[in-house]
Amino acid sequence: MKVKFILNGKPVELDVDPRETLIDTLRLRLKVKSVKRGCERGECGSCTVLINGNPVVSCILLTIQINGAEITTVEGLVGDILLEKLAKNFIDNGAIQCGFCTPGILLTAYAGIKQGKIKKSEDVKEYVNNLCRCTGYVKIIEAIAKTANEVWGHER
């Protein structure tokens, strides 16, 4: 089936098997490597992408379902001011270990902050439900909360 979408600002047109998942299209056809395969059941969030600005897991989504949509991954946010802020705080705060969950968590946090759903520390725990097995989340939550504070100007 023919499908058209925008990937990181560039139009894409593909002929895909109707059973093909978005993660496979992105990784295997389009070589978007930041989208990580963790569970393939929509549980872990490692394959998160932004669809029209909202975080969605790409492993349980069929590619034909996103016809006409705008897809964003971290590759498309190089140079973006909000992502750069998040990146800086993740690095300075030591919020990265193995890095497998990192792109997915960054995208979730990016959308949450941009949409005003994450403004303070407690919001992070409510909004970011991606799994991470290395960090214990402490430094991730701090880094996201710090970024939200820089954007929204709330204390703590």
Partner 1 sequence: MEDPVKILEKWISAESYIVVGKDISRVDALDKIFGRAMFTEDYFVDYMIGNALFIKQVLSTYPHAKIKGIDYKKALEVPGVVRVITAHDIPGENQVGYAIPDQPLLAEGKIRYPGEVIALIAAVDFEKAFKASEEVLVHYEPLPYVLDPLEAMRRNDILVHDERGSNIAFTTRVRKGNIEEGFSKAHVIVENEYRLHHQEHAYLETEAALAIPESEGRVTVIGTIQYPHLGQRIVSRVLGVPASRVKIVAPYIGGGFGGKDDEGPLVCAKAALVAYLTGKPAFLIYSREDSIRIHPKREAAIIRYKSGADVNGKLTAIDVTIIHDTGAYANRAPFILWRATMHASGSYEVPHAKVDGYAVYTNKVYQGSFRGFGNLSIQFAAERQMDLLAERLGLDPVEFRLRNILKEGSYTITNQLLDHSVGVAETLKKVAENADWWKKREEYKKFNEASQRFKRGIGVAIGWHGISTSRAVPDWSNAYVKVELDGSVVVYTGIVEMGQGSPVSSHAQIVAEALGVPLEFIRVVQGSTEAPDSGATHASRGTGIGGIGVLVAATKIRERLTQLASRILNVDPGEIEFRDGRVYWRRNPEMGLSWRELVREAYARGIELSATGYFFLPKGKFDDTIGQGFAYPAYSYIVLIAEVEVDTWTGDIRVLRVYPGLAAGKIINPKQVEGQIEGAVVQAIGYTLMEKLYFDDKGNIVNTNFTDYVIPTAKDIPEIYKPVFVEDKYRYGAFGAKGVGEMAMIPGPASIVNAVAFALGVNITFTPLTPWSVLELIGVLKGRCST
Separation of alpha carbons 94 and 27, rounded Å = 27
Binding of residue 119 to partner 1 (CB under 8 A): no
Q: What is the DSSP letter of 21?
A: B
> What residues between 21 and 60 interact with partner 1 by CB under 8 A?
27-28, 31-41, 43-44, 46
Among 99, 116, 120, 154, binds partner 1 (CB under 8 A): 99
C-beta of residue 48 within 8 angstroms of C-beta of residue 56: yes
> What residues between 65 and 84 interact with partner 1 by CB under 8 A?
73-75, 78
Q: For 35-102, give the DSSP string.
A: S--S-SSSSS-TTEEEETTEEEEGGGSBGGGGTT-EEE-GGGGTT-HHHHHHHHHHHHHT--SS-SSH
- Phi, then psi, of 71 in degrees rounded to 5: -105, 135
Among 4, 18, 54, 134, binds partner 1 (CB under 8 A): 134
What is the nearest approach in angstroms of partner 1 to the Cβ of residue 15? 16
Binding of residue 92 to partner 1 (CB under 8 A): yes
* Count of residues that interact with partner 1, criterion CB under 8 A: 50
What is the nearest approach in angstroms of partner 1 to the Cβ of residue 128? 6
Tokens of 19: 């059973």
Binding of residue 97 to partner 1 (CB under 8 A): yes
User: Which residues contact partner 1 by CB under 8 A?
Assistant: 27-28, 31-41, 43-44, 46, 73-75, 78, 87, 90-92, 94, 96-103, 106, 124-126, 128-129, 131-141
